[in-house]
Structure 1
Amino acid sequence: MRFIVLLPAVALAACGVATIEPDAAAAVSRHYGTATPEASATLDLGWWSQVGDPQLTRLLTLARNSSPDLKTAAANVLAARATAGQTGADLYPSVTGEVSATVSGGEETSRITSRTGLVDASWEVDLFGRARDATKADTLRARSEEASFAGAYVSLAAEIADGYVRYRACRMVEDVYRDAVTSQIQTLRSTEDLVAAGMSATADRSLARANVASARISLETQKADCTVIAQTIATAAGIPQAEGRAILASGGGLPSARPFKVSSVPADLLRQRPDVVAAELDFSATLLDVDVAKADLYPSLTLGGTVTATDASSWSFGPALSLPIFDGGRRRAAVRSANAEALASAESYRATVFTAVGEVEEALTRLAASEKNLSNAGTLVAEYQDYFDAIDNDWEAGGATLLDREDARRQVQSALITRITQRENLLRQWIALYKAVGGGWSGRTQTTNGA
Structure 2
Amino acid sequence: MQADLPVRWEGGAESVPIVPIVPQVDLAAWWRALGDPALDDLVARALQGNLSLAAAGEHLRAARALSIPAAGASLPNLRFATTATPTPDSRGSYFQAGFDAQWELGLFGRSAAAVGIAAADAGLAQVNLRAARVSVAAEVVRTWLEWRDAERRLALSDQAVALQRQNLELLQARVRLRLAAAHELAGARAALAQAEAARLEPQNAVQRYRQQLKVLLGDRNAALPEGPRADIATSAELHIEQMPADLLRTRPEIQRAEQLVLRAASAAGEARANLYPRLALGGMLSAAWPMHGAGGDSSMHSTLVLGPTFDIPLFDWGSRRAVVDVRDAELAAAVLEYRQSVLEGLAEVQSALAGLTLQRERLAAAQRALAALMEQENAALTRRRLGLADQLEIGAARLARLQAELALSQAQLTHQLSFVALCKALGGADPDGANTQQPAQQPAVPPGAAP
Which bracket does the TM-score occupy, shorter chain normalised? 0.7 to 0.9
1:263 positional shift:
2.8
Asked if 1:263 corresponds to 2:210, the answer is no
Distance 1:261 1:115, change over 3 A: farther
Equivalent position of 2:78 in the other structure: 95
The answer (yes or no) to whether the contact 1:158–1:435 under 8 Å persists in 2 is: yes
Offset from partner CA, 1:395-424 (integer Å, 9 cap, x none): 99697896x877655542331112112222
Distance 1:439 1:313, change over 3 A: same
Once residues 58 and 27 of structure 1 are traced to their aligned partners in structure 2, the CA distance between those partners, rounded to angstroms, is: 39
Please give the TM-score of this superposition, normalised by the length of structure 2: 0.81
Equivalent position of 2:50 in the other structure: 67
Q: 1:303 aligns with which of 265, 273, 281?
A: 281
The answer (yes or no) to whether the contact 1:254–1:424 under 8 Å persists in 2 is: no
SS at match of 2:307: strand
Once residues 250 and 85 of structure 1 are traced to their aligned partners in structure 2, the CA distance between those partners, rounded to angstroms, is: 52
Q: 2:129 aligns with which of 139, 149, 156?
A: 149
Q: 2:183 aligns with which of 203, 208, 212?
A: 203
Equivalent position of 1:4 in the other structure: none
Distance 1:401 1:254, change over 3 A: closer
Once residues 174 and 384 of structure 2 are traced to their aligned partners in structure 1, the CA distance between those partners, rounded to angstroms, is: 12
Q: Over the residues paired in the alignment, what is the CA RMSD in angstroms?
A: 3.0
1:48 positional shift:
3.2
Q: Percent identity?
A: 27
Equivalent position of 2:442 in the other structure: none
1:202 positional shift:
1.0
1:335 positional shift:
0.9
Residue ranges of structure 1 left out of the alignment (5+ in a row): 1-23, 103-111, 447-451
Once residues 401 and 329 of structure 1 are traced to their aligned partners in structure 2, the CA distance between those partners, rounded to angstroms, is: 92
Offset from partner CA, 1:272-330 (integer Å, 9 cap, x none): 22322232122122112111101001111122221115669521122221111222332
Once residues 264 and 435 of structure 1 are traced to their aligned partners in structure 2, the CA distance between those partners, rounded to angstroms, is: 13
Offset from partner CA, 1:105-129 (integer Å, 9 cap, x none): xxxxxxx998542111111111211
Once residues 37 and 301 of structure 2 are traced to their aligned partners in structure 1, the CA distance between those partners, rounded to angstroms, is: 72
Once residues 332 and 388 of structure 1 are traced to their aligned partners in structure 2, the CA distance between those partners, rounded to angstroms, is: 82
Equivalent position of 1:322 in the other structure: 311
Equivalent position of 1:5 in the other structure: none
Equivalent position of 1:366 in the other structure: 355
1:224 positional shift:
1.0
Distance 1:437 1:74, change over 3 A: same
Equivalent position of 2:409 in the other structure: 420
1:165 positional shift:
0.6
Q: Aligned pairs, how many?
A: 410
Residue ranges of structure 2 left out of the alignment (5+ in a row): 86-91, 289-299, 438-451
Once residues 368 and 158 of structure 1 are traced to their aligned partners in structure 2, the CA distance between those partners, rounded to angstroms, is: 20
Once residues 232 and 435 of structure 2 are traced to their aligned partners in structure 1, the CA distance between those partners, rounded to angstroms, is: 30
Q: 1:43 aligns with which of 1, 26, 33?
A: 26
1:55 positional shift:
2.6
SS at match of 1:121: strand
Offset from partner CA, 1:144-185 (integer Å, 9 cap, x none): 321231122112101110111111011111111110011111
Once residues 250 and 88 of structure 1 are traced to their aligned partners in structure 2, the CA distance between those partners, rounded to angstroms, is: 56
1:188 positional shift:
1.5
Q: Which amino acid letter does the alignment assign opposite residue 175 of structure 2?
A: V
1:95 positional shift:
1.2
Equivalent position of 1:281 in the other structure: 259
The answer (yes or no) to whether the contact 1:32–1:264 under 8 Å persists in 2 is: no
Once residues 255 and 341 of structure 1 are traced to their aligned partners in structure 2, the CA distance between those partners, rounded to angstroms, is: 48
Asked if 1:54 corresponds to 2:37, the answer is yes
Please give the TM-score of this superposition, normalised by the length of structure 1: 0.81
Offset from partner CA, 1:232-286 (integer Å, 9 cap, x none): 232233221x42xx41434436533586542363112323223222321221221
SS at match of 1:270: helix
Equivalent position of 2:154 in the other structure: 174
The answer (yes or no) to whether the contact 1:168–1:253 under 8 Å persists in 2 is: no
